[in-house]
Amino acid sequence: MGVSRIRTVTAILLAFLLVVSVPAQDARAHYTTGLAFLDQKQYDQAISAFQQAVEINPSYFDALTSLGYAYTLTGRFDEAIATYGQALALQPNSTFTLRSLGYVSSQKGDYPQALAAFDRAVDIDPSDAAAWTSRGLALSALGRFNESITSYRNAIQIAPSSFYPWFSLGMEYYGAGMYSEAVSAFDSALAIDERSSESWNYRGLSLAALGRSQEAIESYHRGLIVDPDDAALLENRDAAEAQLRAYVGGGDSIPWHYVLVPIVLIGLAAGGFLILRAKKKGTALQVHGIPSSAPPGVGAEAEDAGGMGGPPGIHHDVFLSYSSQDKPIADAICAHLEASSVRCWIAPRDILPGTNYPRAIVDAIDGSRIMVLVFSSRSNHSHHVVRELSQAVSRGVIIVPFRIEDVQPSRDMEYLIGVPHWLDAMTPPLEQHIARLAGTVATLLSRGKESAG
């Protein structure tokens, strides 16, 4: 009798489990179908499938969050908020769902509700960089700038290689009129993703606000290489060039910063280049291209090869190569050399909008008589350095290393350059070392002309 009763109870339990499992399987099938529709961007069908999954199993968390996402994509924000609320009732500590709820609230313009959701997310998981970034955006929309900057900084501390916190920080600084800080933030964002035309645009606007018109134009041109049809970049570039023409031409209403900046640049030896180019052309200085993150190399082998010819159509003597972080020194070298009538090629100034950047670099190296490398710890470990160095060596271009830090060449660079004859520039004043470099370049160019004659 006891055995019979146990068998009966077991049969009832098994039947119950089978009955329960069938709806669960049906719910999962609808959920899987919804994901397939979502992937195909058939959002209405995806919503229908997720709804059926939730009707069968109201506690199906993944189906609820996916349904909320599909509602968001179709602009059904109220329904999305209600659905995310159901999901949070099941799993109140889901930071993903909280961030999704915050995003939809932001789309509706309900920034206090969005901020509340993001606050909960960072309270639950202080290492959620995306939540900190989104929280910063909500704070910015509420006009709480100091708090938003802190929020972006928290995100950057957690994920320093993430583009969006840096870009958002740059936008916040720009909006607050903190233009130097904005430039620095956009530089960090562009080091992560140089294809962001919007970053190049706002970097240029920040530079223009600082009175650094030439650099602003460079930034706009770099953005136009990424997106040649960007109307904002075109408009801002034209405005910056007009301002620079007015300054060079001595207009009646010159803002004070247009006078101060050249004085500072002269102190760095870069102002000489501005004045020289202005006298020669009588028009705005045209600067084009991509900030160089591709420093090249040095080499005794290239000196042995000679290589002072250069193909026709290339009108420069020296290719300047440097890490973008060493740009002030590269600009000073360029200014000093061109003030001495030595023609230079330097990015981003000499890359025309719409041209292929790698091809422009190769052509410029091929057409150079001398390559000057600003050698530092930044340029030492760059893959671009090795590629440009290889190109220079293969073309027999004389390579002159200008070492500004006491670092030894990396293994890859050492393999290509052998034992270089460094021009050390590690002790002040820098101008003295640049003058020595200019003398070395002049001597090498003179020898090349004698050999050609």
Rounded to an integer, what distance in angstroms lies between the CA atom of residue 367 and that of residue 317? Answer: 8
Contact between 231 and 201 under an 8 Å Cβ cutoff? The reply is: no
pLDDT tens, 96-133?
A: 999 999 988 988 888 899 999 999 999 999 999 989 99
CA-nearest of 206, 147, 350, 131 to 198 is 206
Q: How confident is the model at residue 374 (pLDDT cuts 50, 70, 90)?
A: confident
pLDDT of residue 153: 95
pLDDT category at 252 given cuts 50, 70, 90 is: very low
**321 burial class (0-12, 13-18, 19+ CB within 10 angstroms)?**
buried
| 393-428 tens-digit pLDDT | 888 888 889 988 888 888 877 777 765 667 888 888
Q: Which of 41-50, 197-206, 286-295 has the lowest mean pLDDT?
A: 286-295
pLDDT of residue 127: 93
Cβ partners under 8 Å of residue 132, min gap 6:
122, 151, 152, 154, 155, 158, 165
The CATH number of 300-452 is 3.40.50.10140
pLDDT at 376: 87
Q: Which has the higher per-residue pLDDT, 75 or 348? A: 75
How far apart are alpha carbons 334 and 320 in whole angstroms? 8
| Strand partners for 350 | 288
Q: Are 376 and 407 in contact, with CB atoms under 8 Å apart?
A: yes
Q: Which value, to the nearest 10 degrees, does the dihedral of the CA atoms of residues 445, 451, 452, 453 take?
A: 110
Contact 434, 269 (CB under 8 A): yes
At 69, the pLDDT band (50, 70, 90 cuts) reads very high
- pLDDT of 136 higher than 60: yes
What's the half-sphere exposure (Cβ side, CA atoms, 13 Å) at 293?
A: 10
Token readout for 308 is: 């002072």
- The pLDDT assigned to 378 comes to 80
Q: What percent of the chain has pLDDT over 70?
A: 75
Residue 402 near residue 333 (C-beta atoms within 8 A): yes
Structure confidence by residue, pLDDT tens digits, 322-363: 877 777 888 889 888 888 888 898 877 777 655 666 777 888
Q: Give the per-residue pLDDT at 452.
A: 60
Residue 147, CA distances (Å) to 42, 108, 116 in order: 40, 22, 14
Q: Are 289 and 222 in contact (CB under 8 A)?
A: yes
For residue 132 the two structure tokens come to: 């900190």
Residue with tokens 């059926």, as numbered in its chain:
52
Q: What is the predicted pLDDT for the residue at 280?
A: 36
Question: How far is it, in rounded angstroms, from Cα 409 to Cα 374?
Answer: 13
Per-residue pLDDT for 312 more than 80? no
Separation between Cα atoms, residue 400 and residue 370, nearest integer Å:
7
Sequence-distant (6+) residues with CB within 8 A of 175 are 140, 145
pTM of the predicted model over 0.85: no
What mean pLDDT comes out for the span 129-145?
90
pLDDT category at 282 given cuts 50, 70, 90 is: very low
Name the residue among 25, 84, 92 with its Cα closest to residue 52.
Answer: 25
Starting at the edge strand found earlier in the chain, the sheet holding 318-321 runs 344-345, 318-321, 370-375, 398-403, 423-424
Contact, 9 vs 1, CB < 8 A? no
SS3 label, residue 399: strand
Using CA atoms, how far residue 261 sits from 25, 137, 185, 279, 338, in Å, is 71, 33, 21, 18, 19
